[in-house]
Amino acid sequence: MATLGKALTAPESGWQRINDDNENITYNGAWYSNSSSSYYGGTLKTSLVNTSSACFNFTGTKIRILGTAVNHTRYSGQVVISIDGTEYSYTHQYSATAFQALLFDKTDLSDTQHYVKIYSVPNIQWNIDAIDIDSNGTIAPYNSEIEAPTNLVAALENSQVTLSWSAVTGAASYNVKRATTSGGEYTTIATGVADTSYVDTAIENGVTYYYVVSAVTSDGESSNSNEASVSTPMNLIAIAGDAQVTLTWATITGAISYNIKRATTSGGEYATIASGVTDASYIDTNVENGITYYYVVSVVTENGEGTSSNEASATPVEEGRVLLVIEMVNGLKKEYKVTVTEVEAFLTWYKNRADDTGDPYYIFDSNFNLGPFTSRKDYLAFDKIQNFEVMAYTE
């Protein structure tokens, strides 16, 4: 079993091994060759300066880099390997020395030609003993001049993401890649796409997706296009109340905040009524009963403001009122014109208090005959209530 930092003296099934002296590998900068029976094929290439690099192209879906694993500060840093413009890293530094050691392993590439450049950070020495690729793959001279697609755009339409981009001259097809974090790592979700557009239907609500596209020509696969992102539907729901509308939506991964937008006609134009909202809910109290309001919510991530959610609408209405008559033990009757919701709150309190839980009194706001006062509150003690009745208005 292949293990990073451990010797892998022969390629595993499904792999083939390319020696470090293969004519298709270009070594830039200063290198020297070591000879020993400990190395694969008897040779090992070691870099001498910080600007050294090794470049080549290969076809296939996987690649491994083999070298000498050592426990030495000169090898303690990261070696960078760029595959089709996407950078990964690996190290030679391990606790024990191992020849023909597996240092880098990448197995989920698209089945096409790839261009590879390997280099290190300053003051770090590194080496190459061999390269493993698919058993039916090929290695070729380095060529990174394949034109990459440009002007990639992602749009959310009918719970799916539509991608479009500019054509590449000589492209036989395109590969579409996706990630859930900006910059990847990207997973290839479609290969052999013949057109300059693609529809991604395998999306989930509440996720921001990041896309890139590469072109495939007879010379191999290009580097990735510009990145385009889109936030999927947030399942925005609007619930009407009395002089208010409550909005809720699905949380978006990576969201910093949300912007709330409102219109009085479907489709807008929307005006932003709140920004910097950090919760996945909002109550709009600046509304009038009887008017239908249309809402969308947009997500703000580290890349800026994303696309808007689905549109949700609600028409706030005055809640129906009833007359609650409470008779006290001393025969006094108190009448309150309240909403059904307020009656339900009173009944809940009364039931809880009958079970010996909750506050010993209930508070009613009396908003009539205020006189010189800004508010009036009636405190009704539970043990002073004889009975009560609720009467609905016929109007």
Per-residue model confidence (pLDDT) at position 394: 57
The domain locations on the chain are 15-140, 153-231, 237-314, 321-392
User: Phi and psi for 332 in degrees, rounded to 5?
Assistant: -70, 135
Per-residue model confidence (pLDDT) at position 368: 54
- Distance between CA atoms of 226 and 309, rounded to whole angstroms? 24
CATH architecture of 237-314: Sandwich (2.60)
Per-residue model confidence (pLDDT) at position 141: 85
User: Phi and psi for 383 in degrees, rounded to 5?
Assistant: -75, 0
The type of residue at 209 is Y
CATH class of 15-140: mainly beta
Cβ atoms of residues 296 and 236 within 8 Å: yes
Per-residue model confidence (pLDDT) at position 128: 95
Superfamily of domain 153-231: Immunoglobulins (2.60.40.10)
Same fold, 15-140 and 237-314: no
Per residue of the chain (395 residues), what is the pLDDT tens digit?
789 999 999 999 999 999 999 999 999 888 889 999 999 999 999 987 667 889 998 888 999 999 999 988 777 778 889 888 788 999 988 889 999 999 999 998 877 778 899 988 666 788 999 999 999 888 988 876 677 888 899 987 667 899 999 888 888 999 999 998 887 788 999 999 999 999 999 887 777 889 999 888 877 788 788 889 887 666 788 888 888 898 988 777 778 899 999 999 998 899 999 999 999 889 999 999 889 999 999 888 776 787 678 788 988 887 777 788 888 889 898 888 887 778 888 888 888 888 888 889 999 877 655 566 677 788 889 889 888 888 766 55
Per-residue model confidence (pLDDT) at position 291: 93
- 3-state DSSP assignment of residue 277: strand
Angle ∠(232,235,240) on CA atoms, nearest 5: 150
DSSP labels, 75-97: G-SPEEEEETTEEEEE--B-SS-
pTM above 0.75, yes or no: no
